[in-house]
Structure 1
């Protein structure tokens, strides 16, 4: 029997004294990450004096995702995220995860999705009916507004004020922009009272204050079908959420439900405007299904093209593009020893852009998802919502919302990229941020598209019995 190896995974070259690879990561994080598979399936990088193991192969990723006890939520990215999303389901350690997920799961039961979808359709209708022919819009702003309104209605059973949407968006913009840089900054430097650090701390306070104000306002006047109501329903049970835990769950759901879905929809709009033929195919399908009306829950099975566009956007530009885990016991990966306390890094962006997994990985090609050979599971290399026990609990909610909004846009409007000569580049922060780029909207002729905004009352949410 061969003796287990004690050698280390290859160290990525060109690490600098003191800084390690931090300068390369800050300068071009996506380019740096996509180069790592060239050095091995499991490689080491250095950030300052610390080292991390980067998973570059789907088989190793499957090991990490399926063993969340040995590879627990932790590491610099998760620790930084906990500063502004709390210790809710998205960031809590393994010892708390099963209980939290069991208590949150009823709020995302599939039986609730039709009622949530009615709210999504309503806000998609309002947004797409408010645009004017020939108007220039910034999709990142429009999508942020519609996802914020959907989350407010489904999470709290209310509507956020424009001021609250602005407060949350501005605070999250600072936290997302500076959080990634802070993750790479040594601890003592991150606490210095520099202008950037003070701005970061102020943004955290604004976010906490705004979210707490919304929770308190709706505590006694909440809809019976809101997600918050479902979380509060279990308060009389022995293992129910305490007040702090409810706040952490709401904060996590609010941030994830607005930020990530808004960015996915923004990428879809930018990519479709940049690829007119793909946009026309999506319009033909959406018009055949919708005929000018808003997309609804019942339409989802027939919106196959919208599904493929969204899936391809998630492959190219997954909002959650980088994650860290902490190793809780001495273990092995790819035959190498990985000691307890080590940091594991894995990235959707690395695997989604591997040419041995996806043909022409840099191309926007929704039709690649027509092929049964295209990887579609974490162990194959596709995991936009993570995987295993820590898979995003709101993935069906988010995909339903994005499909309804995207199909409604495609049916009613043609998106023109006024700067088509300029390539589209993502900005790597804690999430993958699309550029603030204008698109011109042109009204599609046909029934239903000239209607005024539908200002009917918000559909009432009711719990499934």
Structure 2
């Protein structure tokens, strides 16, 4: 009778390692759902508390759809839910200022979310509070209201070029994707501010549907080259007509490692990406809603005509932002475009966070220990029916009452809150006011939606920014 082969050697070692790993994972799962875990008191599905598998399945396998599950969790469990072993999600805007606290209170970013970010060395993806503050400092002065006012002439010029380009399509049967058209404006604005030279997408293409191909090429190939050009120019004492964001980073007192081309390229990706997609999508939402509701469009047109004498020579942003209905249309567009749709979580490093609220007509109290993440999602909060009745409808009138407006603003997360609030908020608002005025008076009388429905706007999944269903062909239009 032959002897049974021994399991000694590499095979046996492999089996032992796998067994040990599985045992460790089992112990972790048991700990995660036990009363010993610091988040054990937070309600939520047991499977989500046990492991990251539900999040992995919905965000990786189904591609960016975990937010839908989180919304359902809130419907079942209340304003605070545990969505993975070490993270809590909040659906109470009254707690937002505690989660995203400013005023010197330290809030780290969740490393779990940052790990999935492709530009990990940007300020946007920086975990540590103090390091984020140091990386943000050279950029901050570029996005003050005073700085954006100095940039306003460029934005107005690009806005008129956008209108001219769209109107050049009058009488053509070929529809175009308006989101990509608006990306021409937003990309050239932020790229010129970053590098002192616009990407000039309109010069790369003859037709509106194609510029993203060139944007990707520029971002991947030319951006590092442009950073090096600015660096060499500084060394040679070249004086630029206007300070640039990249120049300010390279000339800052950051450590040399923080000024490496790869690190600055990551920052550039983040700034250009954030300055392009979110504003372009807000303009897309606004365009669709106005063209779908001629009564709202007519009311906006009448208000603008009383102030704007020549749509080719727009009043300043400070004048336009005082127009109540224009401001209401923009606020409602921002609400329904969400900004960053993916959840944003913070980690309190110096204190426990104590939540007190009400669920099912009973008082509730939960403690989120320091070191654990808690976040919110604009796509959930912006549809809180207690704050925004009939929240899926485009209703600018809800913003017209000054007292009511203050209550509405507390439920808006599109630009974030606290010390990590969106740096480019003033730039976005300036672009939105100028573009909305010019498009309404010059373009919208001739623009018609083409084979576009509500489904082409409806949020379906996350790629940091909101995306419609994959079969959507985009929000398209023709010019008659």
Say if 2:286 is the partner of 1:277: no
Verify the 8 A CA contact 1:7 1:337 in the aligned structure 2. no
**Superposition map of 1:426-465 within 5 A:** 426-429=459-462, 430-433=464-467, 436-442=474-480
Pair 29,64 (structure 1): closer, same or farther in 2 beyond 3 Å: same
Verify the 8 A CA contact 2:377 2:413 in the aligned structure 1. no
Distance 2:249 2:107 in 1: 31
Residue 432 of structure 1: CA displacement? Answer: 1.1
**Superposition map of 1:156-195 within 5 A:** 156-162=195-201, 169-170=212-213
Which of 320, 328, 332 is the aligned partner of 1:300?
Answer: 320
Distance 1:79 1:207 in 2: 21
Verify the 8 A CA contact 2:348 2:371 in the aligned structure 1. yes
Which of 345, 367, 370 is the aligned partner of 1:324?
Answer: 345
Pair 347,378 (structure 1): closer, same or farther in 2 beyond 3 Å: farther
Q: Which residue of 1 aligns with 2:190?
A: 151
Distance 2:121 2:39 in 1: 38
Which deviates further from its counterpart, 311-320 or 50-59? 50-59
Distance 1:213 1:420 in 2: 39
Say if 2:79 is the partner of 1:41: yes
Say if 2:384 is the partner of 1:354: yes
Distance 2:287 2:409 in 1: 29
Structure number with the bigger relative contact order (C-alpha 8 A, sep ≥ 6) is 1
Distance 1:74 1:164 in 2: 39
Q: Which residue of 2 aligns with 1:265?
A: 283
Distance 1:420 1:326 in 2: 41
Query: Which string of whole-angstrom CA distances, capped at 9 and with x for unpartnered residues, describes residues 341-383 of structure 1?
Result: 4332311121110111111111111111102343547983222
Q: How many residues align?
A: 403
Report the secondary structure of 1:392's partner residue. coil
RMSD, aligned CA:
3.5
Say if 2:406 is the partner of 1:387: no
Which of 244, 249, 258 is the aligned partner of 1:227?
Answer: 244
Distance 1:17 1:229 in 2: 44
Residue 128 of structure 1: CA displacement? Answer: 0.4
Pair 12,406 (structure 1): closer, same or farther in 2 beyond 3 Å: farther
Distance 1:52 1:171 in 2: 38
Q: Which residue of 2 aligns with 1:211?
A: 223
Pair 237,425 (structure 1): closer, same or farther in 2 beyond 3 Å: closer
Which deviates further from its counterpart, 389-398 or 427-436? 427-436
Residue 122 of structure 1: CA displacement? Answer: 0.5
Q: Which residue of 1 aligns with 2:333?
A: 313
Verify the 8 A CA contact 2:349 2:371 in the aligned structure 1. yes
Pair 271,93 (structure 1): closer, same or farther in 2 beyond 3 Å: farther
Unaligned runs of 5+ in 1: 173-202, 443-465
Distance 1:376 1:32 in 2: 30
Q: Which residue of 1 aligns with 2:32?
A: none
Pair 364,422 (structure 1): closer, same or farther in 2 beyond 3 Å: closer
Residue 16 of structure 1: CA displacement? Answer: 11
Q: Which residue of 2 aligns with 1:56?
A: 91
Q: Which residue of 2 aligns with 1:455?
A: none
Verify the 8 A CA contact 1:75 1:325 in the aligned structure 2. no
Residue 54 of structure 1: CA displacement? Answer: 0.4
* TM-score, normalised by the number of residues in structure 1: 0.75
Distance 1:304 1:159 in 2: 33
* TM-score, normalised by the number of residues in structure 2: 0.73
Query: Which string of whole-angstrom CA distances, capped at 9 and with x for unpartnered residues, describes residues 317-352 of structure 1?
Result: 212122123353672432323345433231112111
Q: Which residue of 1 aligns with 2:448?
A: 416
Distance 1:65 1:408 in 2: 35
Say if 2:113 is the partner of 1:77: yes
Residue 23 of structure 1: CA displacement? Answer: 4.1
Query: Which string of whole-angstrom CA distances, capped at 9 and with x for unpartnered residues, describes residues 53-110 of structure 1?
Result: 10111122221111685541123333322x2263325645202133233322222232
Distance 1:326 1:167 in 2: 41
Q: Which residue of 1 aligns with 2:162?
A: 127
Larger C-alpha radius of gyration, 1 or 2? 2
